């Protein structure tokens, strides 16, 4: 099936069999996955129909018009945007069958165990070790610490990279695993951030046993697998679909219209400039999604994520400046553990503080600048003296 009309008919038939008003939400979502209407570009039996990605819009429009429930994508964004495409690309048939359905329906939340206290921007320098179990079971025993892990306190599963061969250079001695967050030895601790909340965590792994069946890709191929995750992550962060005057610019523009007493000529000019930049970013995101229809995300996603971070910070800064003293008010410094990051329903002070993290999460702006320079613009690479040095011999 490749025709939009056929797909529209199929979706309407599904809705007739599963009326959203009378079908329990969980049952509806599972049936939608089984009908191939979750990710239409995924293979049959894995939530899709093997048709072009662009046809997903046809399904989504029909479901939205019928008042169908969604799978709360903001709550399960790491699973949808990062884990799922990586599992699809590198997973075994058993892994795909076991993991993709509950991931998409939201029955199982995912988190990402990549960054470490000593390996954030230089992710390949990670020190978490995975060694074969001594009992001959083929399992792996993992020890280490991860940091800045969003939603680890709610997650059932994690995508994890760990060093399996310290005698190889840092990029070549890494393997990629799927870690059950309920297993013994996994400890999640909250990290209180500048907003006063704890959406992030640090995760300690102490003799965590991971079956070899939960390894994704070959031993030592973890960096290659992780690149798929990272490229999809940057698209998920910086390339999400938003309406015109949506996202961070929406609240600032609304404030300008509602509070004429705050207006000045200088702030008006800056707001206009940022509004235009936000619209350019939105249209660029649309073009990026069109490119995705034809293949996998590339380095362009890094450019989108870089622009997203800078724009959010400038817009939130303008909003605080526009409000003056009012912009400094922020009434909730309690240690909350949010499941989602909500920029729209909070004070301007929260948005200003939280947007600072945009230039760190999903790859720091400095790293993304290198990626854009080298892989998009074709500029010479920075010298990398440690590229061929065994990880165990690197200064740390």
Tens digit of each residue's pLDDT (9 = 90 or more) over 217-236: 999 999 999 998 987 766 66
Q: What gap in Å lies between CA 57 and CA 60, rounded to an integer?
A: 5
The count of C-alpha atoms lying within 13 angstroms of the C-alpha of 17, restricted to the half-sphere facing its C-beta, is: 12
H runs (alpha helix) in 66-115 = 77-78, 84-90, 93-105
Which of 239, 310, 305, 316 is closest to 271 using CA atoms?
316
pTM: 0.86
* Residues that are catalytic: 233
Q: What residues contact 169, with CB distance under 8 A and at least 6 apart?
A: 386, 387, 388, 389, 390, 391
Where do the structural domains in the chain lie, given as residue ranges? 4-65, 79-220, 227-376
Closest CA to 46 of 99, 83, 6, 111: 99
**Could you tell me the two tokens for 108?**
């199982």
CA distances 124 to 17, 224, 369, Å, are 49, 11, 17
**Among 17-31, 149-163, 197-211, 335-349, where is mean pLDDT lowest?**
335-349
Q: What is the pLDDT of residue 248?
A: 87
Taking only the tens place, the pLDDT of each residue in 237-264 is: 555 667 888 888 999 999 999 999 999 9
Give the CA radius of gyration of the chain: 22
Mean pLDDT check: name the lowest of 25-39, 95-109, 269-283: 269-283
Residues 237-259 as b/e (b if ≥16 CB within 10 A, e otherwise) read bbbbebeeeebbbbbbbebbeee
The number of beta carbons lying within 10 Å of the beta carbon of residue 72 is: 15
Classify domain 227-376 by CATH number: 1.20.140.10
CATH code that applies to domain 79-220: 2.40.110.10
């Amino acid at each position: 099936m490749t025709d939009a009309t056929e797909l529209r008919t199929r979706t309407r038939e599904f809705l007739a069999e599963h009326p959203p008003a009378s079908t329990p939400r969980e049952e509806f979502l599972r049936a939608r996955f089984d009908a191939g209407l979750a990710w239409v570009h995924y293979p049959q039996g894995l939530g899709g129909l093997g048709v072009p990605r662009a046809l997903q819009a046809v399904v989504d429009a029909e479901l939205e018009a019928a008042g169908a429930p969604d799978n709360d994508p903001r709550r399960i964004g790491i699973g949808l945007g990062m884990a799922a495409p990586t599992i699809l690309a590198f997973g075994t048939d058993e892994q795909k069958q076991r993991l993709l359905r509950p991931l998409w329906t939201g029955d199982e939340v995912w988190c990402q165990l990549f960054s470490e206290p000593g390996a954030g921007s230089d992710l390949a320098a990670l020190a978490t070790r995975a060694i074969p179990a001594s009992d001959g079971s083929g399992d792996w025993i993992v020890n280490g610490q991860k940091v800045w892990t969003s939603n680890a306190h709610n997650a059932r599963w994690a995508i994890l990279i760990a060093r399996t061969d310290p005698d190889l250079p840092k990029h070549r001695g890494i393997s990629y695993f799927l870690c059950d967050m309920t297993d013994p030895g996994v400890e999640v601790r909250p990290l209180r951030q500048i907003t006063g909340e704890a959406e992030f965590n640090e995760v300690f792994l102490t003799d965590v046993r991971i079956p070899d069946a939960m390894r994704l890709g070959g031993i030592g191929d973890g960096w290659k697998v992780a690149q798929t995750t990272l490229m999809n992550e940057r698209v998920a962060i910086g390339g999400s679909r938003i309406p015109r005057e949506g996202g961070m610019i929406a609240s600032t523009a609304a404030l300008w219209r509602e509070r004429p007493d705050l207006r000045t000529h200088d702030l008006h000019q800056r707001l206009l400039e940022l509004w235009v930049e936000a619209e350019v970013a939105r249209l660029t995101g649309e073009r990026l999604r069109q490119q995705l229809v034809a293949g996998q995300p590339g380095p362009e996603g890094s450019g989108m994520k870089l622009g997203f971070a800078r724009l959010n910070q400038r817009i939130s800064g303008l909003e605080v400046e526009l409000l003056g003293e009012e912009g400094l008010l922020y009434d909730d410094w309690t240690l909350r553990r949010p499941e989602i990051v909500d920029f729209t329903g909070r004070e301007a002070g929260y948005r200003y503080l939280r947007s600072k993290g945009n230039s760190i999460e999903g790859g720091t702006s400095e790293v993304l600048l290198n990626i854009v320079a080298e892989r998009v613009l074709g500029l010479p690479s920075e010298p990398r003296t440690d590229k061929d040095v065994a990880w165990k011999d690197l200064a740390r």
